[in-house]
Amino acid sequence: MKIEPLLHCLELLFLLEMCRAGGVRKTHPIELTIDSGSIRGEYLTIGANDFAVFKGIPYAAPPVGSLRFQMPEPPAKWRGVMNATQYPPMCAQKARTKDTDPAHLYRIHISEDCLYLNVFAPPQFTNDTYPVIVWIHGGGFQSGSSADYPQEAILNNFVSRKIVFVSVNYRLGPLGFLSTGDNTIPGNNGLWDQILALKWVKVGLSAVSNLWQMYLQNNAHVFGGDPDNILLMGQGSGAASASLLALSPRAEGLNKVLLMSGTAISPGVVRDTAVNATWALDKKLHCRSFNSSELIDCFRKQLKDEILDVVKAEYDDYDEFVPIVDGTGGVVPEAPEILATYRRKIPIMLGTTHDESSLRLVLLDEKKLNHSNLEVPMAEHLAENLTRTFSGFINHPLISEGCKHEYIWTKIDPSLESEILYNSILKMFSHFWYDAPTSRLATYYAKQKVPVFLYSFDHVSENFETDTV
């Protein structure tokens, strides 16, 4: 069977772009002054194009010590010139393995001091302003970094077209989405990180304190960007994040959004599991806390690796430390499906790729699923597990039977190859995780008569095929 995981496609495309561009011919330092201080980046020449690149710019204070598990705060000003030529460390996360990172994007530099962003811009800092793309990386809210999108692809595909491209880090897993369910740790700190990063780029979002107003000078202008022409873009959980912010009253002022293979209403994006998982972690760490204050005091004394070594209490297809409905004043005051029915909408482009869940099934294939000889009992088990563990299905037994009829029983024919049943299961997973939520969210937007662009990326190139047999 041939599959085309999007990440593999992008990797190869980026390598081809590098070869086509002819590589970096020269570099020299370039300095700019932003509100927090001066930074030194690099002026690059690639092919016939020139670029200005700044990496590792702090948009928030390091979330360590007393700031661990707290909302992000603006960074302190610095003296002298800060080096901005290296990617920042990845936000603390479990080590990447073949299972957690099939695309082999291995990086080992991780830290809690990770709230940095990168800016790639045309070098002509004149009165002209350029559109801005703010990129939120994917990784299921558990992994990933602002460096996942390769530099050469950013420069060749965006900046060469006079677009300022910003990629951001945000806290992940328990360090970003732990919650006590009260004011001690309301949750969603990873989303608050993204909001502060957006405010770094664009001034004027709602609910900005006087301190932030002083801090949030128009950094976008410094890099030639137009603060009134910002596209928030993400892939996977990054797209889900962008979708949540587009619906959130805490992120007013967004201009437009592009969602690649993820939405706020996709399964497993917003759950109510973080609070129970937090108290389970309290027990695992032997904190024996009686209240939230004791818990946070104990957690702040723990090593990050001990916090990250989370073992789920019950296995299902979802992670526990993910966004949560955090009530009035929070990023997600209500269930996203409710917010989508009435919140003011902005222009949106969203879509999926063909066979979205192929990578998910590849991982299952390595563990317990023999795709070349898939039998009906295993296919039925996959359908049951898919529907049983999704809280959005009130009558999951009935839905499970419907899925079996649509994707399994109608495919049972001795004259058909076993590959057909596997492809049908792949379609079921893709419809459940990606296609159906994307279509549903597009419908919510269309009802408010804002521009909606729905795409499906179905092109198959022989250069990007991966044989799983």
Q: Report the interhelical angle of 189-201 vs 237-247 (nearest 10°).
A: 70
Q: What's the pTM?
A: 0.86
Name residue, tokens 């994006």: 269
Give the per-residue pLDDT at 310.
Answer: 73
Give the per-residue pLDDT at 412.
Answer: 64
Distance CA 320, CA 253 (A): 30
Q: Which two tokens stand for residue 244?
A: 């949540």
Report pLDDT digits (tens) over 122-164: 876 566 788 999 999 999 999 999 999 999 899 999 999 999 9
Report pLDDT digits (tens) over 250-297: 998 889 999 999 999 999 999 999 999 999 999 999 999 999 999 999
Domains of the chain, each with CATH number or no CATH: 26-270+321-346 (3.40.50.1820), 356-457 (no CATH)
Give the per-residue pLDDT at 395.
Answer: 63
Report pLDDT digits (tens) over 371-399: 666 778 888 888 888 877 676 666 667 88
- Count of CB atoms within 10 A of residue 397's CB? 11
**Positions of the chain with pLDDT under 70:** 1-25, 96-108, 124-127, 203-222, 311-317, 362-373, 389, 391-396, 411-418, 461-469
Give the per-residue pLDDT at 141.
Answer: 96
Query: Position 184: which residue type?
Result: T
Give the per-residue pLDDT at 5.
Answer: 45
Residue in 69, 63, 62, 61 with CA at minimum distance from that of residue 298:
69
* Chain centre distance of CA 253: 20
